[in-house]
Amino acid sequence: MTGTSTSEFPVALLPDDILAALLVLAKQVSKRDRLAFRGHDSALQKVFRNLIHEFPSATMEPFVFSDSGPEPYSPVLSESISRLQLSGLVGRENPDYEVLFLRQSAEQYFDQELRHRLSKQDLGQLQQLAQRFLQLVEG
């Protein structure tokens, strides 16, 4: 992988960038070689709804949850996870694809493309969220 920051086409910080940053920070907090957790879309929606409810922050504002329906549902979150799968920064494991894992490239992407685009305040908030996220997915 080469991975120099070459983009001259500015793209705003996308929701899936924020999600990728949060997952990379969660891996760093966990101090493990690999971040993997069980979570179908429906389970992750609940985790993130609780997370955002506990720690309201400007960083997570794009993840708007619909106020109708029997359970919390954010299409932006669902699409962000799919986009991270499409771009290959996260993967899902056989056989039932319930286990979501972070690929190594996500860390490189975070270091070279995302870290410098996040303010100190954003990073602080995301670290706090990452810590709680780990507790929620592992609890």
Q: Where on the chain is the footprint of another protein (CB under 8 A)? A: 1-4, 6-12, 14, 40-42, 61-62, 64-71, 73-76, 78-79, 82-83, 85-89, 91-92, 96-98, 103, 105-106, 108-109, 113
DSSP 86-130: HHTSEEE-TTTS-EEEE-HHHHHHIIIIIGGGS-HHHHHHHHHHH
Smaller CB distance to another protein: residue 103 or 132?
A: 103
Provide, rounded to whole angstroms, the least separation between the CB of residue 124 and another protein.
24
At position 54, the amino acid (one-letter code) is E
Smaller CB distance to another protein: residue 104 or 124?
A: 104
Smaller CB distance to another protein: residue 16 or 26?
A: 16
CA distances (Å), origin 131, targets 17, 62, 69: 18, 20, 29
Task: Give the residue ranges of DSSP H helices in 31-72.
Answer: 41-54
Provide, rounded to whole angstroms, the least separation between the CB of residue 119 and another protein.
20
